[in-house]
Structure 1
Amino acid sequence: MALRRVTVFGGSGFIGRQIVQRLASQGVRVRVAVRDPIGAEFLKPLGDLGQIAPMKVNVMDEAAVARVVDGADGVVNLIGILYEKGRRTFQALHVDAAERIARLSAAAGVAHMVQISAIGADTNAAAKYARTKAEGEAAVRRHMPAASILRPSVVFGPHDDFFNLFGGMSRLLPVLPYYVKDGFRLVRDEQGRRAIDLGGSGGPRFQPVYVGDVADAAMTCLQTPAFQGQTFELGGPRAYTMREIMELVVEQTERSTHVVPVPFWVARVQASVLQVMPKPLITPDQVKLLETDNIVSGTLPGFEALGIEPTAAEAVLPTYMNRFRPHHRNVILRVPG
């Protein structure tokens, strides 16, 4: 599918900037619909003069959304939040905004739309985040039946809020916790002796997916009519338990931080307190999310169907996690020559 003009909602974000860069490299004119167009001006050098246009758009404003999708060949919706604050609720942004974008895009004659959702999107999920992601998918499909929906697992890359968060914690704290449901229980070893199993199975599982691969998937869906109307689950080449994620962080940061199990009830207590922070480290709804594995189900197509080989976390993490290493381990010795 030949693209001339594409509107990207949330295009200044972690995934959005990658998609904007790819669109610009192919000569596409890009409208970047954001709350803060001044803060999104860093995107302009990714394209030619005037090719990338950050535009102030309130996605709750029908007229503003209609203006920014008018004349577009494609639309990408990346809008999503991990916690609610004031008017920025899951319902308003995951459902109502997605419905508005799809409805007005259809009315404007937009040929195709890519909706970025999340693995675990399910109207019956315990977490409100996952329920509203599924409701947003349904709202998009009502107005744009041919929309492509991408459900990535945890997305990682240089600007992520996942490995960077744990890397920062490793620099400040002596321990990195992982939450377990089946730990702290009495078991019997091979000789029949009683023992305490603290770590259980290692906590919830994740399948981290590289941000560049997600952007490539979005581009492929935008340009390939055969992928219209399909939903794809995007996971990296390996699934990790939460314990393995923390161990990977310790390995990459080269610190002596201890990885320790914590019961889920502790997570609930922490979330009840930390949810009042301006940017909460964890909320009760996120604890509910953690109680379900964040991995591909195997019932939907994924990267293989899109012709993309997913990138391993171990191949990318050294390029940005070294910032969390002790300073003396980053010293480069130069010999006068």
Structure 2
Amino acid sequence: MQNLVTVFGGSGFIGAQTVRQLAKAGWRIRVAIRNPNLGYAMRLHGDVGQIDVVQANVRNEASVRRALEGATAAVNLVGVLYEAGRQGFQAVHVMGAKTVAEAVRAEGIPRLVQMSALGADPAAASKYARTKAEGELAARDAVPGAVVVRPSIVFGSEDHFFNRFAALAAVSPALPLIGGGKTRFQPVFVGDVGKAIARLASDPAAAGQTYELGGPATFTFRELMEMMLRETGRRRLLAPVPFPVARLLGAVGDLAAGVVAPPITADQVELLKTDNVVSGAYPGLPDLGITPTTVESVLPTYLYRYRRGGQYADQEDREMAAERA
């Protein structure tokens, strides 16, 4: 096996795929998460003894240093989609990235991969996009050779995009199209993102580079909702919601964020004002020898659970259900 890599946030949606790919590549892996009790299944992604789970919080320097002891590479995947209590954008995306990178430098670890996001921009109106960019800068300030990874929206069986709207479509007669649903996305498969990160952690030639990860096609928000509805066999009204109205809805979501996962926040509304597609100015999946996976080939493998009749509903059943829904 290769040397030891510490993966911060390794039990999450993207983290689990990253750990699986690193294990396939022969790394010994230390998964560093806030609540180790919730990461018991991580050891099943590799051989016996290949994967360990330890406690670490990117807001606590001492725990980060302990998690990095003896490592030869580090991956920081920690991030939040909305702010709740102490888990704020500034604390996690900026200060967390700074803490990890400075600890990587102090431990003399040669490779660091920092997760960011498409649209990261220090001048962005969205706090999410702005702090993602600030996190990139903080990581590279401490470790100039840090590799930055910027994916578009990531899809897969446990994603927070298609699952969220499919669940909403199961109970609501209408789905909101923020800003008319014209925002463009380039969805990227979580397995492809995991492969990319695993390859970048092993490649010294990638030092200091930024990678934009997008899928093989672009879609508007409306097109993605229509695709989801076809796959789940439901007919729902797609209701355009102007940005000013959506921002009011997002403000309500902000108030609920400390208690439940909000359907949308004001900052997410701000994000939807900008397309989320690769710029072409940076290398991506093809440059890593990875053929991007299509959305159409993966959605049926997990959206079946939102159909009437579940995975056993055939096409005719789904069409009939769509007419009734």
Which bin holds the TM-score, normalised by the shorter protein?
Answer: over 0.9
Summarize deviations over 1:41-65 as a string: whole Å, max 9, x none.
0111222222211111122221111
| Amino acid in the other structure paired with 1:291 | K
2:51 counterpart residue number? 52
Distance 2:148 2:192 in 1: 15
Runs (4+) off by over 4 Å: none
2:99 counterpart residue number? 100
1:287 counterpart residue number? 269
2:237 counterpart residue number? 258
Q: Is the 8 A contact 1:213 1:308 kept in 2?
A: yes
Counterpart pick for 1:247 among 226, 242, 266: 226
Residues 1:205 and 2:184 are matched in the alignment: yes
- TM-score, normalised via structure 1 length: 0.89
Q: CA deviation at 1:40?
A: 0.3
1:69 counterpart residue number? 68
Q: CA deviation at 1:275?
A: 1.7
Distance 2:130 2:158 in 1: 26
Answer 1 or 2: which has greater helix percent: 2
Counterpart pick for 1:237 among 212, 216, 239: 216
Residues 1:133 and 2:112 are matched in the alignment: no
| Amino acid in the other structure paired with 1:311 | T
Summarize deviations over 1:176-230 as a string: whole Å, max 9, x none.
22122xxxxxxxxxxxxxxxxxx5xx42111110001101110111112221110
Q: Is the 8 A contact 1:275 1:281 kept in 2?
A: no
Distance 1:57 1:329 in 2: 39
2:294 counterpart residue number? 312
Question: Within 5 A, what are the aligned runs for 1:62-211?
Answer: 62-180=61-179, 202-211=181-190
CA RMSD after TM alignment:
1.5
Q: Is the 8 A contact 2:253 2:266 kept in 1?
A: no
Q: Is the 8 A contact 1:153 1:206 kept in 2?
A: yes
Larger Rg: 1
Q: Is the 8 A contact 2:304 2:311 kept in 1?
A: no
Identity of aligned residues (%): 50
Summarize deviations over 1:256-275 as a string: whole Å, max 9, x none.
22223221222111111122
Counterpart pick for 1:325 among 288, 302, 307: 307
2:201 counterpart residue number? 222
Aligned residue-pair number:
311
Q: What 5-or-longer segments of structure 2 have no aligned partner?
A: 315-325
| Amino acid in the other structure paired with 1:154 | I
Distance 1:158 1:85 in 2: 25
Partner of 1:39, secondary structure, is helix
Q: What 5-or-longer segments of structure 1 have no aligned partner?
A: 181-198, 333-337
| Amino acid in the other structure paired with 1:308 | I
Q: CA deviation at 1:79?
A: 0.5
- TM-score, normalised via structure 2 length: 0.92
Between 1:69-78 and 1:254-263, the stretch displaced more is: 254-263
